[in-house]
Structure 1
Amino acid sequence: MVFLQLFLMLIVILIAAEVFTNALEHLGEKLGISEGVTGSIFAAVGTALPETSVPLLAIFAGTSNMETNHEIGVGAILGAPLMLATLSLFLMGMSVYKSRTATGHLRPERTGLVRDLNYFIVAFLLAAVALYIPHEKDLFRYMLGFGMVMIYVVYVWQTIRASKGLVAEGHATEAESDMFLCKIGLPNNMVVIVLQLLLGLLLLLAGAKGFINGVESAAEILGISALLLSLLIIPIATELPEKVNSILWIRKGKDTLAFGNITGAMVFQGTLLPAIGIMLTPWVPRKEVLIGIVLTLLAAVWLRIMASRKGGLRVWHLMLNGALYVTYLFIVLS
């Protein structure tokens, strides 16, 4: 029954993310912004909401067991960037392996990709440093958390500022399909777009709440910690929107949207969510946490180096990202 609950709540979360993302595409088109902004900010934040809602609800309104709430929260916060930087990029690359081959080129807009990775690496390094700040040093933790929030604010500002030039170069956002609410007769205007955004958000919160309660029971049945289950299971489940959207986009040749959807989510989840974890949870260097952070940073640095090379990114480069995820599984489960 517990696993059925997890499955049903996952379905609710995925439907909600699709509703939210569909509205975001139309918002981006109406605002006349670039694919970089839509991918790295709008789509990234929209499809990151499942992972985002789980740790937030776990910390603020989870189960009656505060220790379990913190474990679920920390696991979901750090598990999401790990999955994005490793398995998600690997699956996206493998989706075009047949058509482009291992040495085939991947062509995201380079300046946006490098910007995303630079911000993520800096922020996640700060999250790693915070593991060694004693929890009783509240002032230092709150200052660090606030600094990470400001990193994301500056990132959004720089990304939006670059939008005008990208639109002029032909990278304007175009919605892939009709808005869902328009299919039942409502007009395509800002009021209806906002209405669909709110509907998707409410569904996400409801699904995440049910998922949290299911994780606590599943951890007891499987005999593993809620932290480890959250690091492994919640990100796999809740990141399906990113994987599916990026796979669809890259198979259509929209490499900028595909990469931006993932790397933009990495920045969002590598700044705002760790800031909450640093300020409101024990945030200590347990084995599962520390190894996850190190491998996530290795994956991001590897992608950053390859993206900056003269030859650009190739499909086989993302295979190493997948290998790093397998490495994590081997270490924490052995």
Structure 2
Amino acid sequence: MLFDIIIFLLGLIFILISAEVFTNGVEALGHRLNLSTNFTGSVLAAVGTALPETILPVIAVLFFAEGQGHDIGVGAILGAPFMLSTLAFPLIGLTVILAHFWLKKRALEINIETVGFRRDIVFFLFAYSVALFIVPYENEVLRVLTAVFLILLYVLYIWLTLKGESNEMEEVEKLYFSPKNPNPHIAVIILQVITALTIMITGAHMFVSGIEKISLHFGFPALLFSLLVAPVATELPEKVNSIFWILRKKDSLAVGNVSGAMVFQSTIPVGFGIVFTQWDITGLAMVSGVFAVVSAFFALALSYVDKKVIPFGLTIGGIFYIIYIYLAVKEFF
């Protein structure tokens, strides 16, 4: 038990350190390639930090199918968008609110590129709604076609994000792997990003392994673990990265990191789940999907009102997270 707690804490430390190194590297990469702020946050950072929670269900489904692998895989796939919309978004909103009232470091508003943000949320709402409510899970051919459609949808999203109007990357901080060079070679930048991702994935797996063994020690069901505990651990990179960016007043990167990850999670991992699992979404699994959609819709709707209410719009999802925990605990215990 003590060893599992140590592994859990070491995993958390690895995630926190690698998140800082990763955000620094991604900013430098976006700046070096002359990419927009929106593309850097919503695609580069989002896909990179989505790797830990993407790898988890793939491993669970492909290598642990004889046990509870499918349940854990589906739970992890559905848990990722749910955690992003009901936990990661609220953490961004709360960080802004606390930074304004407590730290006195910023205004009570989020300055994001609303066009890119709305595009992210609309793509997420459409893709995830198709996966939850339209997929004919009993027809294997149509399931494969749906998965292909979702993958092509993400390709379209990348193209629109790349071509869409967005601000250029601001001047970035010195690269950790080359602090004395104001214009480091792109190979050094990529090396830093890959190194950070490797440490991040390792830390996430240590974190998940520690929590899993601790939860099993206390008798938590596998499905409850896959829906609630594992996604919280694997979504830590997005949460930590976004908090760092919010505190540095780089709001578009912070929000795009989460909203872009939501698009990725609702297309690529979901497409995998549709093909390689039964994808018969019912009960708490369906509730998590509905809560994710409703929470994202609130954030989208309030983005049309005023930038000063966006922090509160992002925070609303936390209510659904609390409700879901109550329903999950009530269901299993």
Q: Where on the TM-score scale, by shorter chain, does this alignment land: which range?
A: 0.7 to 0.9
Aligned counterpart, 2:193: 197
Q: Aligned in 2, Cα 1:97/1:205: closer, same or farther, shift over 3 Å?
A: closer
Aligned counterpart, 2:273: 277
Q: Percent identity?
A: 37
1:58–1:212 Cα contact (<8 Å) kept: no
1:85–1:299 Cα contact (<8 Å) kept: yes
1:36–1:257 Cα contact (<8 Å) kept: yes
Q: Aligned in 2, Cα 1:2/1:193: closer, same or farther, shift over 3 Å?
A: same
Q: How far is 1:332 from its partner?
A: 1.3
Q: How many Å separate the matches in 2 of 1:115 and 1:312?
A: 20
2:63 aligned with 1:87, yes or no? no
Q: Aligned in 2, Cα 1:193/1:311: closer, same or farther, shift over 3 Å?
A: closer
Q: Aligned in 2, Cα 1:177/1:250: closer, same or farther, shift over 3 Å?
A: same
2:319 to 303, 316, 323: 323
Q: Aligned in 2, Cα 1:228/1:311: closer, same or farther, shift over 3 Å?
A: same
Q: Aligned in 2, Cα 1:33/1:71: closer, same or farther, shift over 3 Å?
A: same
Structure 2 length-normalised TM? 0.86
- What does 1:1-334 align with in structure 2 at a 5 Å threshold? 1-61=3-63, 64=64, 66-98=66-98, 100=100, 104-129=108-133, 133-134=137-138, 137-162=139-164, 165-166=165-166, 171-174=167-170, 176-183=172-179, 188-210=184-206, 213-214=209-210, 217-309=213-305, 313-334=309-330
In structure 2, list runs of 5 or more residues that go unmatched: 102-106
In structure 1, list runs of 5 or more residues that go unmatched: none
Describe the superposition over 1:175-206 as per-residue Cα deviations: whole angstroms up to 9, x where unpaired: 64332322599982122222233333443454
Structure 1 length-normalised TM? 0.86
Q: Aligned in 2, Cα 1:13/1:183: closer, same or farther, shift over 3 Å?
A: same
Describe the superposition over 1:268-325 as per-residue Cα deviations: whole angstroms up to 9, x where unpaired: 1111111111111222223221110010000011111111236774433233211111
Q: How far is 1:3 from its partner?
A: 3.8
**147-156 vs 207-216, greater mean Cα deviation:** 207-216
Q: Aligned in 2, Cα 1:250/1:197: closer, same or farther, shift over 3 Å?
A: closer
